[in-house]
Structure 1
Amino acid sequence: MSDAPLICVRGEAVVEAEPEIARLSVHVQSQESDRRAALDRLTERNRQCLDLVESFGEAVEKVETGGLSIMPLLKYKRREGDIRGYRGTVWIKITVRDFPVLGELVARLGELERTYVNGPEWELRPGSEVYERAARQATHEAVARARGYAEALGARLTGLVELSDEGVGRTPEAPIALAAAYGASRGGVEEEPEPIDLEPETQIVRAAVEARFTATQPDLEPR
């Protein structure tokens, strides 16, 4: 076993970057006295929502259906059998890549009848180079710190024993804010709603590594 001195350090990095995508969560609902009518109305409203989203073309990167439910509404909470109606819900997940259209999309979704819009949630892509950049900066910090300790002892680094990645992650933010709520149907022809001003939220990525280096024998003679 080598008797070379070891210098153990931890390197950290914090990187700020602009988000790369925005996610919206949309819930479309229907409520009717008849189960089939509730399902038919839900199908219609779901199609209206999807048609609106698709009209934004390549600005929308992905549209997914997160779930669908049709549930009976009871007249009395503690008694089975008395059903006063049925409620249907479709959950649609939308990923937007073109931020300039996001405010218009949210505003127009909010105009749809019985539509609930939550978001946007700003994110980096899973394979974003920002994560790699943060990891590299954390590694450079570890090397610089170890070299500084070695120089303070009158020694120099001679090799790397171990480099351990503690992980790279995005700093959690506050819960998603409500962007739009239930729209009400209105008769007649109306102008499109004004786009909502939405400012992208800066993404904060943190990375940390632990490293062990070998070094020459320190010069501990008093000076």
Structure 2
Amino acid sequence: MTDTATHHPYGTPQTPHLTVRGEAHLEVDPETAHITITLSARGTDRRTTLDDLTRRNTHTIDLIKSYGDAVDTLQTGTLTISPELTRHGRGERIRAYHGRIQLTAALTDFTALGELTARLADQDLTRVDGPWWGLRPDSPVHAAARRQAVHEALQRAREYAEALNTRLGALLELADTGTGNPRRTARADFTHRAIPFSAAGSTEMADEATPIDLEPVRQNVDAQVEASFTLNPPPLH
């Protein structure tokens, strides 16, 4: 006859359980910066407006790509061409056409970021928003925070066991309690924080723009775990 061990999820006097939490809070330099570029065009003819917008878009993309490896990603967002209507007598007439296209760029070279941002903002009918600072999804900083959280949980468990004059037995469970913005949820991973910047282009030549001094915002990287262990029965007398 085979004996089957009875599982006691909450521990027993012979195998008491201990559950602890481990946390890590790191502050690191950002790895990427995102900016959004909105290009506009306006004219009384739809085709002319679209041609102007296309030309401006081509010039802007070429400018961004000229920074080579400093640009991590470049994406095109929404493109709109819409008529502006005005009343004329009892009917409506098209007064003008408005065109808009949005680009998003991520840079890893923050010196190039300041120069590019200034040159973009110096273009006609161009708006720049950002930068939004952040970390790469595969950044080793995230793994470092998780390891630190696990080490803290293990250290805390050992301290409790020592206070009971006993030792840890086995690890029963290790749970990641979640990821998110630590300032909002008090849980792990990382948060994007930005210095808001917005500028509309002027009529000066873009190449003459003075680089903008943009100070990177350090990033909070948090991790949190819960770990459950068995304890050797402590002497309570």
Output the CA distance in 1 between the equivalents of 2:120 and 2:126: 7
Letter in 1 for 2:196: A
2:202 match: 184
User: After superposition, what is the alpha-carbon deviation per residue over 1:89-124, rounded to whole angstroms, capped at 9, x for unaligned?
Assistant: 111111111111111110000011010101111111
Match among 181, 187, 190 for residue 170 of structure 1: 190
Match among 216, 220, 231 for residue 200 of structure 1: 216
C-alpha deviation, 1:74, in angstroms: 2.5
Output the CA distance in 1 between the equivalents of 2:192 and 2:47: 42
Given that 2:195 and 2:217 are in contact with CA atoms closer than 8 Å, whether structure 1 keeps it comes out as no
Output the CA distance in 1 between the equivalents of 2:79 and 2:168: 60
User: After superposition, what is the alpha-carbon deviation per residue over 1:177-221, rounded to whole angstroms, capped at 9, x for unaligned?
Assistant: 12x4211224xx686111111111111111000110000112222
Output the CA distance in 2 between the equivalents of 1:80 and 1:21: 52
1:108 corresponds to 2:127: no
1:148 corresponds to 2:159: yes
1:47 match: 58
3-state secondary structure, aligned to 1:121? strand
Name the TM-score, length of structure 2 as normaliser. Answer: 0.85
Alpha-carbon RMSD: 1.9
Output the CA distance in 2 between the equivalents of 1:49 and 1:172: 26
Match among 135, 145, 170 for residue 134 of structure 1: 145
1:218 match: 234
Q: How many residues align?
A: 215
CA gap of 1:190–1:69, structure 2 versus 1, over 3 A, is closer
Give unmatched runs, 5+ long, in structure 1.
Answer: none
Output the CA distance in 1 between the equivalents of 2:206 and 2:77: 31
2:225 match: 209
Give unmatched runs, 5+ long, in structure 2.
Answer: 1-6, 179-187
CA gap of 1:19–1:67, structure 2 versus 1, over 3 A, is same
1:124 corresponds to 2:140: no
3-state secondary structure, aligned to 1:75? strand
Moved over 4 A (4+): none
